A and B are shown apart, each in its own frame.
Chain A
């Protein structure tokens, strides 16, 4: 009886303690007590954890660095590869743009037949302005064929091998082209120069030249087909008592960045030299 009452007393005490703790917990008073006890423990735990992590890192880091370096090298390789692919894609895109522009030009003038060619070199001499293209007699190209871009006249083929051809640019100092001025309705000649600039000459002094007048091939002489755009009048000069008017010309073709051209294959230049007495 005495034992039972002691057990009962213990049970009651434990129950009361539990109820007390529950009451304290529900009332929020327990948090302060628990906090007071646990906070130092958490701090100590944190301190231990950080030190343990440092020790673990100390032992595992070299292996990670080696792995990271390998991964870094792999990624660098991938980046270089992707960069080169990007460059190639951009190059192809530029070439495609050029070819589309040339195709548009060819479609706009269906009366002509064209062969597209890439510029693969320039003449080594600084005195003359010639380019070398990657199509020759194997592709039906013959001497004298006019060469154009979507912008306008480039020049003419002057020498041909089986797989390449040399083109004299209209900027070459030996180039002379018979031209027609659209607005002024008169003829003249466009001459090249050693500096790569082109100029208009042999224009009737009675005609008024204006800045921006369009210059097109006239077709006279049979060297070039008519009505191919060459450029615009830049600055007319008409000195007193001069036999002819002159003007500097802004060409429509960018000869510095010339990369692809069209050769007009159905045009045959007229060789009138046997008619010259």
Chain B
């Protein structure tokens, strides 16, 4: 069920991202809801189908977005790897983990987008890109990280109920 649920949820998140959230901006930065969801989902210890969700999200975003395809294909698995790595080391503080993973993956994702566009011949002044897009995007991602984490945690508890040890 956890694996199958990925299809509708990623689809809904993608629709929300392309319709509503792409217009909710801080300066010119916007929230990356799918990246946040992948990070939050990867932080849930009971979830076993993280990689399917990650690959599906990466493929879906690569298909829909005009950004070079390798940006989501690299960023989303990287978010999963970082989330799993952090999950093993930061003990019993899931919110701190979520903020940490959000910050790292947002910076990497925006940085990689900038580099990929530069490689494709789209020149964006570094200062403008940094001040108008990257920093606001990281900030807005941090703002939205908390509700996304809560939603992912509730969904994970519903899909993968924890066994009670007597």
- Residues on A lying within 8 angstroms of B by beta carbon are 120-128, 130, 132, 158-159, 166, 168, 173-174, 193-196, 256
Other-chain contact of A123, B29, B66, B117, B129 (Cβ < 8 Å): B66
In the assembled complex, how far is the CB of residue B161 from the closest CB belonging to chain A, in whole angstroms?
32
Query: Bound complex: CA of A124 vs CA of B32, how far in Å?
Result: 7
- Contact partners of B67 in chain A: CB under 8 A: 123, 125, 127-128
Query: Bound complex: CA of A128 vs CA of B71, how far in Å?
Result: 13
- CB pair A126–B124 under 8 Å, yes or no, is no
**Interface SS of chain B: helix, strand, loop or mixed?**
helix
- Contact partners of A196 in chain B: CB under 8 A: 28
- CB pair B114–A127 under 8 Å, yes or no, is yes
Query: Bound complex: CA of A266 vs CA of B163, how far in Å?
Result: 64
Q: List 15 A-B contacts (CB under 8 A).
A: A122-B18, A123-B18, A123-B65, A124-B34, A124-B61, A125-B66, A125-B113, A126-B30, A126-B137, A130-B66, A158-B66, A168-B66, A173-B117, A173-B122, A193-B124
CB within 8 Å: A-B pair count: 83
In the assembled complex, how far is the CB of residue B41 from the closest CB belonging to chain A, in whole angstroms?
18
Other-chain contact of B113, A120, A122, A127, A256 (Cβ < 8 Å): A127
- CB pair A123–B22 under 8 Å, yes or no, is yes
- CB pair A132–B133 under 8 Å, yes or no, is no
B93, CB-defined interface residue at 8 Å: no
- CB pair A174–B129 under 8 Å, yes or no, is no
Question: Which of B15, B61, B66, B117 lies at the interface centre, i.e. has the most chain A CB atoms within 10 A of its CB?
Answer: B66
- Contact partners of B133 in chain A: CB under 8 A: 126-127, 194
- Contact partners of A132 in chain B: CB under 8 A: 18, 64
- Contact partners of A123 in chain B: CB under 8 A: 18, 22, 64-67
- CB pair B129–A194 under 8 Å, yes or no, is yes
- Contact partners of B34 in chain A: CB under 8 A: 124
Query: Bound complex: CA of A158 vs CA of B137, how far in Å?
Result: 26
- Contact partners of B29 in chain A: CB under 8 A: 126
- CB pair A124–B28 under 8 Å, yes or no, is no
- Contact partners of B137 in chain A: CB under 8 A: 126
- CB pair B128–A124 under 8 Å, yes or no, is no
